[in-house]
Amino acid sequence: LNSIQGKSALVLGGSRGIGAAVARRLAAGGASVALTYVQGAAAAQAVVDDIEKAGGRAMAIQADSADEKAIEAAVTQTREAFGALDILVNNAGVLAIAPIEEFTTEDLDRTLAVNVRAAVIASRAAARIMGQGGRIIHIGSTNAERMPFAGGAVYAMSKSALQGLTQGLARDLGPKGITVNVVQPGPVDTDMNPASGPMAQGLIPMLAAGRYGHPEEVASFVAYLAGPEAGYITGASLMIDGGFAA
């Protein structure tokens, strides 16, 4: 059985959207779950309350992924609270869209800090304490493979960077029995990319599935990767995109 019962997990950016669904799904599988947020204290607490009401174990940690010390503290806090760190999900991400002529350096720096640098820092901190069977799962994007509209160059670059990071980390951590993968969703109905939002009209015709994904559909895939049955999957960029890039 693909059991994550009793495992300890940290989800960066777990207060809303895909990260919240991942936190809930890992907890439903029996993992203790720490989740970070930056602004959404009430939303993060609501996820924790839901998990606890269902009999699970969870905690929320305010930690801006742009802040190295905050990420490292979240990793330490997770291990101290739950006795280990078995599963790291690097989900926190930001999306800035603008024509390159107008793309600000501030947005460039923020995108790289949250989408890329944080994944390296969190993985480094996790690698120092994770044992055999450990799992590092990045949330990338189908835009690492296909960027069919203008204005998303920096976002796509940040998600392509996770592919290289994943391949290299798989080599570093394979000998320790830790797998590293990047899950690449297509359009998923969240605050970042609402299925009823202005981007959706252009995106839906590009989807083989003809619809947006639900956060729970990504979460179940992450839960599979987090379990022991996925032990031979590593260094992989895994599309879950409704055929967006097909």
The contact set with ligand NDP (CB under 6 A) reads 12-19, 36-40, 43, 64-66, 91-95, 114, 139, 141, 185, 187-188, 190-193
> Nearest distance from residue 140's CB to ligand NDP, in Å?
7
Half-sphere exposure of 22 (CA within 13 A, CB side): 32
Catalytic residue status for 37: no
Considering the candidates 155, 212, 224, 232, report the single residue annotated as catalytic: 155
- Whichever of 1 and 109 has its CB closer to ligand NDP, that residue is 109
Tell me how far CA of residue 167 lies from CA of 58, 144, 178, 197, 241, in angstroms: 30, 14, 13, 34, 20
Contact 185, 218 (CB under 8 A): yes
CA distance 240 to 188: 10
Instruction: State whether residue 35 is helix, strand or coil.
Output: strand
> Nearest distance from residue 14's CB to ligand NDP, in Å?
6
φ, ψ (nearest 5 deg) of residue 70? -65, -40
- Cβ-in-10-Å burial (0-12, 13-18, 19+) of 42 comes to exposed
Place of tokens 């699970």: 56
**Whole-angstrom Cα Rg for the chain:** 17
> Nearest distance from residue 10's CB to ligand NDP, in Å?
12
CA distance 71 to 185: 24
- Whichever of 65 and 179 has its CB closer to ligand NDP, that residue is 65
- Whichever of 36 and 78 has its CB closer to ligand NDP, that residue is 36
Per-position DSSP letters for 177-198, written without gaps between them? T-EEEEEEE--B-SSSS-TTST
- Whichever of 170 and 203 has its CB closer to ligand NDP, that residue is 203
Contact 208, 170 (CB under 8 A): no
> Nearest distance from residue 105's CB to ligand NDP, in Å?
17
> Nearest distance from residue 131's CB to ligand NDP, in Å?
26
- Whichever of 171 and 211 has its CB closer to ligand NDP, that residue is 211
Give me the active site residues, please.
155
